[in-house]
Chain A
Amino acid sequence: MWIRRFAAGVAAVLAAVITTPAGAVTEIQWWHAMGGALGQKLEKIANDFNASQADYKVVPVYKGSYPEAMTAAIAAFRARQNPTLLQVFEVGTATMMAARGAVYPVYELMKNENEPFDPKAFLPAVTGYYTDTNGNMLSFPFNSSTPILYYNKDAFRKAGLDPNAPPRTWADVESAVKKLQAGGTTCGLTNEWPSWVLVENFSAFHNIPIGTKSNGFGGLDTELKINNPLVEKEIAMLADWQKTKLYDYGGRTDKAQPKFFSGECGISLGSSAARANILANGKFDLGYGMLPYFADVKGAPQNSIIGGATLWVLKGRPAAEYKGVAKFFTFLSRPETQAWWHQNTGYLPITLAAYELSRSQGFYDKNPGTDTAIKQITLNPPTENSKGLRFGSFVQIRDVIEEELEQAFAGKKTAKEALDAAVKRGNDLLRAFEKANM
């Protein structure tokens, strides 16, 4: 625990140093988790805002990974030294929503500060994830992505497959991976973010529930439902393919990326935001497609769900800063800002206007495949199974699901045993969260 206190202390000292008033400009601390190239893009947005007016200065501070940024901000909040603005990943949403005394809901902020704010301007798949049961937006969508299918066109050609026809169904994938392997590619298929891709998005895309109570949106007394025959069928199939490397598990988070861009695997299911990285590292002709589905399932393909992060406003700062945050959100909502961010990062355009703008600028014609993610996420109007999910302790539950998937792929458990165990362990965590937040 002392590390937490110590970190909070250091943060406090830093904050004191940084926020020393410089003239009449109100500084707004923005803690985020975008490293490398993405971090530079984010800083450009903050700089553009700062240059656009003279009253406020947004100061972005890189805080490490998503969990690290969130933990640091929470520790800072406990020490009353929190930033005003915090970037939180999608699975941290339930935790933030439960912390009513700590967050300033965005719709309230915009109303109180008289800034225009229309939730309908955002893509429904994005707003759905971040609104409360009354349809109010609690946080500000910033970067959203969704998993798509990437494939190696050169490997497809070598295997005698049509390089312009990405596999659409799991049956297509099966015949493709078999031909790829026969054509000399070591492994057929791999994927990033196992739980997000193979369980959460798989379920949404087939319009089946991940949990009861509308995937947790309807209340804390929700239970996981992922041990159903359809998910079981998928996992059992992949576990079977794993034996001959038709499928090859590549690890959690985005650790599987090298497997794809080194050419080892011919197809990868990964985040749409991975595009830039794959283009930079893969020395082959890259193809894009939508996630595969089982053709015999009624209602599939539905639409996929998002990942990524939103901006949360934390309480406990001087009033002037909130005025600045509201102005900053208005700046972020501009189609030009949104379109620039979308085109330069691979994240989704989160407003319809930014999508239209990118299209009229000819971005999708010049960069084929970049609209696959948008088409997939807007394929159908979201149902209660496909508008997202809201489970407490979901960071931990994802770990549990991935631990159990690994057992299945390693052949230590059957798909059914692994999913049953994931549901049981996940439900225990949901009950603990329910108890702590009643």
Chain B
Amino acid sequence: MKLQARQGLGILLLLAGLGLAACGGDSSQGSQAAENGIQAGSSNYPVATITILTHSRPGGGSDVFLRELSRYLAPELGANIIVKNVTGGSGASALAELARAEPDGATFYATTPTFIYTSLLARPAYTYEEVDPLVNLFIDPELIYTAADSQFETLDDVLEKARNSRGLWGAANPASLERQSLEQLKLATGINNAAVISHEGGGDLMINVLNGTLDIGVGEAQELQSQLEAGNLRVLATFSDQRLAEFPEVPTVYELGHQVIVRKFRGLAAPQGLSPELIQRWEAAIQTVLEHPEYKASYLADNLRPNFIAHAEYQEFINAFASETRDYLRTVGIVE
């Protein structure tokens, strides 16, 4: 029917991919790490292959993001990039693997708030303090949304209901940034009569917003995209520091007078002791890649917002984020 030749090509590629996995298998780089192989041109990068670790499963948020990124980053750095999924221990396994790796520019880790949470909630062998935050790439906006047929037109309507009767607010997971953002909103607005109900992931949450069980939910733009386009959901506010290009009419929580800003970051971390030359090299490469027109079109379509933070400031950013999170977890009594 359609595109049959290309489908035939597809299967060849698939078989070739399996073959590649076979070759990589015994040299400790299995096929869980896909070969995004764009071979280096003229390169003087110290290693031929860079491995970026993620605690995300194949197909998960960070995984999809990294594989897309590495397609553009590899030629820029002049080395192959492999994405390796080190699941388990809620990020602790990946963190441990990074902390134990040599700082030779061959191993990196994709940071998300998860690695801070795990460091604070449990006592993993290595915490965020034993690795070096390298650069930040994106900050995903967290949106407050409600069902399109609900009575709430603005965030104030929601807060009003919570003041007058009882608010039912939903977060995707019990110990997550989304949960934290809603709890902080409660603190900032002085509302006590709102139950923040956590779910088993964003999908579970969205169903309960769609069927009217909950007043509002908090989620990333990417998760909401299809329901927003179908007109089943309405965005009331964003937790970002400024209004979003895709939703220019949606106010930030901050400008509505509640001092809560949430930064769900996506960046990279390295083992401690990476040489200044390599750090500079990565800073330059990431900046170039973020401007790459094709990549830009791709990540903007995925609702990722570029927010480059250089190495010098990223350390502070992560530490500030961690201490804010630690304060929050202590205030609400989750950790001592």
Q: Do A and B come from one complex?
A: no
| Residues in chain B within 8 A of chain A (CB atoms) | none
